[in-house]
Structure 1
Amino acid sequence: MTCFAARALAMVARRNSALAAKALANEFPWLAWLPDIERHQCVRELLTHLIAGADTGELMPFERSLISWRSTAVIWSDPQLARELQGPFSGDGPEVAPPKSAS
């Protein structure tokens, strides 16, 4: 997303967050795979990073957040994987021996 587009969407977000959320949903259809609570959290986080990025010209936090949320949505799109990643998990995993000292 160019800085100009980020600034334009940030202006919309400041004045009408519901409209900005709709614009994000149109641009990122994978938002539909997120559960409602996470979808709202995702949109809030993306808009917050976008507004800050538009003010500073630094869009990397927005891009990192976008990639992270898109990956989360992909996981939610696979019901079996989503169930497995919700736990329960058995213990902390195998015990690992301490490293040998390098003398």
Structure 2
Amino acid sequence: MGVKEVQWSELQRDPKGVAALADAGDVRVRRRDGADLLLTRADRVATSGEGAIATMRALRNLLAHVPVEIAAEALKEEFPWVDLLPADAVAQFVTEFVKAARISAELGQWSVLAEMLRGWSATAMVHTDPELLRQLSGPLGDDFGPVPVPVEDESDGR
């Protein structure tokens, strides 16, 4: 069943009616003054979390049994920018994808995977600009002066 949509005013006017819709499936509450809200029942969230964890475990096991090249090809269908990465970076991307996806599923926090994907996407963009790649890959030309001696912080007991 698809997501039903209601306006904020409908939720205020008929909360029991909107709750009945949420019993049947997810409800998107549209607001003019902020991001939409998504109403869903807690028991469905718990079940979907279990499904996400099971899916990520299966994906991790599947990717562990196929050559990196095949895993990379499968991921390129969803993330075509992977083609911009050098070959050695593609293998690292696959490894980090599986790790971040598993962590996200276990924690129920998909921001871990999203942040990893943003980082790799930015890396792929750097590889489209030869001058930027040269600047970021080469040695620094400036001397930034001496590095200060680390100071012990007595508050942490070190």
Shift of 1:5: 6.5
Q: d(CA) in 1 for partners of 2:75 and 2:56?
A: 9
Could you list the per-position Cα deviations for residues 44-90 of structure 1 after superposition, in whole angstroms to 9, with x for gaps in the alignment?
A: 11111101212221111111110011001000111222112112221
From 50, 62, 65, give the equivalent of 1:15.
62
> Cα RMSD over matched residues?
2.6
Change (3 A) 1:61 1:80: same
- Which has the higher Rg, Structure 1 or Structure 2? 2
TM-score, structure 2 normalization:
0.50
* 3-state SS in 2 of match to 1:16: helix
From 85, 90, 101, give the equivalent of 1:39.
90
Structure 2: runs of 5+ lacking an equivalent: 1-47, 146-158
Partner residue, 2:122: 71
Structure 1: runs of 5+ lacking an equivalent: 95-103
**Higher helix fraction (1 or 2):** 1
Partner residue, 1:51: 102
Letter paired with 2:61:
R
Letter paired with 1:52:
I
How many residue pairs get aligned? The number is 93
**Higher strand fraction (1 or 2):** 2
Change (3 A) 1:6 1:42: farther
Change (3 A) 1:54 1:20: farther
Shift of 1:9: 5.0
Q: Are the aligned partners of 2:53 and 2:106 in contact in 1 as well (CA < 8 Å)?
A: no
The structure showing larger relative contact order (alpha-carbon pairs under 8 Å, at least 6 residues apart) is: 1
Change (3 A) 1:50 1:26: same
